[in-house]
Structure 1
């Protein structure tokens, strides 16, 4: 990927955009349709929609909300949360998503990645990985599932490598320790995954300043995802792009 892309993320709970810290303490951050429209108008390159409680609550993705957001979205639109089968993925794509993002279900049943790639094409499949530090594992990073609530004992770098080998077109790791803390992305995690995959890697979890986005791009991230700083007006997408370009980072116009 020649240019770094900016990807606001809409974390959805009960039909509203929310944002927390370390996956908890959720605050309301607005209407998803209004947010999506505003980000597209502001020049965002991608948009993510994550139904953050679907897996925990044992339900499917909120398709009606996906449809409403898709109707106003003019950039590639990735949807995740509650996608447990190829049929779930098909329904989300039919609702207007450009890609599906799978996490817990893909980890528990890796063949789901192969199946989705075969049915819908590699470019439609993203594998998201919730990650926390664990010094006992080779890379120092462990995969978590169920919205970041359940440790798996699996090395996160190894899982990223396997996910790409099975056909994932994008790897989206989110650092649980950094999420919402605004102290910066987990740069060693980004570098570690970039060393073992050729697919684009999303930086997710921890952006608090323009410098943090720059650091992630310099660490090798292809897509820069953030939520809080965009939702609460701390950083505007056009300003961020201008800053990154001024630092020598190629960005989409």
Structure 2
């Protein structure tokens, strides 16, 4: 049986790691290269870098960071934020990232997923889905532009389409639970994992060991967290040891 993955998120703003709440209230946390090395040493399975400034002028900063990080760590790491073309994706991969994730650009042009998969392979392409529940319809809808813009795409339908287009996995973030450390959005993750066959990484809301346990129970293949690692609530290995004791198959 495949091990469940514990993944650290590094949100990058002006070459520094930052963290917000519900995609807002951003504050600086530290140096991305040093944090990546620290988390690998402490037993993390993967690292995800999100360029939250995501501008063409600052692309070189991110590429330089990727090169530095790839020389320092051996765990897989995924990079995204503002990737709009196959060329952007290739640059990220060529700089040393193992995988690239796309979000807004994929919604605007779903064919981008297919084109990218044809060039770098499905195992290197992750589609990130930011979703929020509409209380009126009781359905989850996809948001783009860093969680600012609501679309009429239902999250589970978009997830299925991404799978059909060849995406290797999905990174699903609940805007409602992001950064508040009160648990993942289990309903959202369950809805999507039951609808697709490709791996789903859950993101948004991890605050305790139970939160990870719960999200793995509803079908997530990986669980991404930022705050609990950045602010020293747990180290990855402490977290994994407790999950192992609870019967979750993690790699120690």
The whole-number CA distance in structure 2 between the counterparts of 1:164 and 1:60 is: 31
Cα distance, 1:101–1:60 mapped onto 2, change above 3 Å: farther
Which residue is 1:100 aligned to? 100
Instruction: Find the residue that maps to 1:161 and give its secondary structure.
Output: helix
Aligned residues: 250
The whole-number CA distance in structure 2 between the counterparts of 1:63 and 1:115 is: 22
The whole-number CA distance in structure 2 between the counterparts of 1:146 and 1:73 is: 30
The Cα shift of 1:12 comes to: 0.4
Instruction: Find the residue that maps to 2:151 and give its secondary structure.
Output: strand
Residues 60 and 83 in structure 1, CA contact (< 8 A), matched pair in contact too = no
The Cα shift of 1:60 comes to: 6.3
The whole-number CA distance in structure 2 between the counterparts of 1:232 and 1:67 is: 26
- Aligned CA RMSD, in angstroms, stands at 1.3
Which residue is 1:161 aligned to? 160
Cα distance, 1:153–1:60 mapped onto 2, change above 3 Å: farther
The whole-number CA distance in structure 2 between the counterparts of 1:64 and 1:240 is: 31
The Cα shift of 1:53 comes to: 2.3
The Cα shift of 1:71 comes to: 1.7
Note the alpha carbon deviations across 1:125-165, whole angstroms, 9 max, x for none: 0000111111455x610100001111112101100010011
The Cα shift of 1:79 comes to: 0.4
The whole-number CA distance in structure 2 between the counterparts of 1:220 and 1:251 is: 14
Which structure 2 segments of 5+ residues have no match?
none
The whole-number CA distance in structure 2 between the counterparts of 1:60 and 1:156 is: 30
The Cα shift of 1:177 comes to: 0.6
Residues 4 and 251 in structure 1, CA contact (< 8 A), matched pair in contact too = yes
Instruction: Find the residue that maps to 2:217 and give its secondary structure.
Output: helix
Which residue is 2:233 aligned to? 234
Note the alpha carbon deviations across 1:152-197, whole angstroms, 9 max, x for none: 1210110001001101111111000100011100001110001111
Which residue is 2:192 aligned to? 193
TM-score by length of 2: 0.96
Cα distance, 1:168–1:59 mapped onto 2, change above 3 Å: farther
Which residue is 1:111 aligned to? 111
Which residue is 2:76 aligned to? 76
Which structure 1 segments of 5+ residues have no match?
none
The whole-number CA distance in structure 1 between the counterparts of 2:86 and 2:71 is: 23
After superposition, where does 1:15-164 map in structure 2 within 5 Å? Answer: 15-54=15-54, 57=55, 61=59, 62-137=62-137, 140-164=139-163
Note the alpha carbon deviations across 1:212-235, whole angstroms, 9 max, x for none: 111111111110100000011111
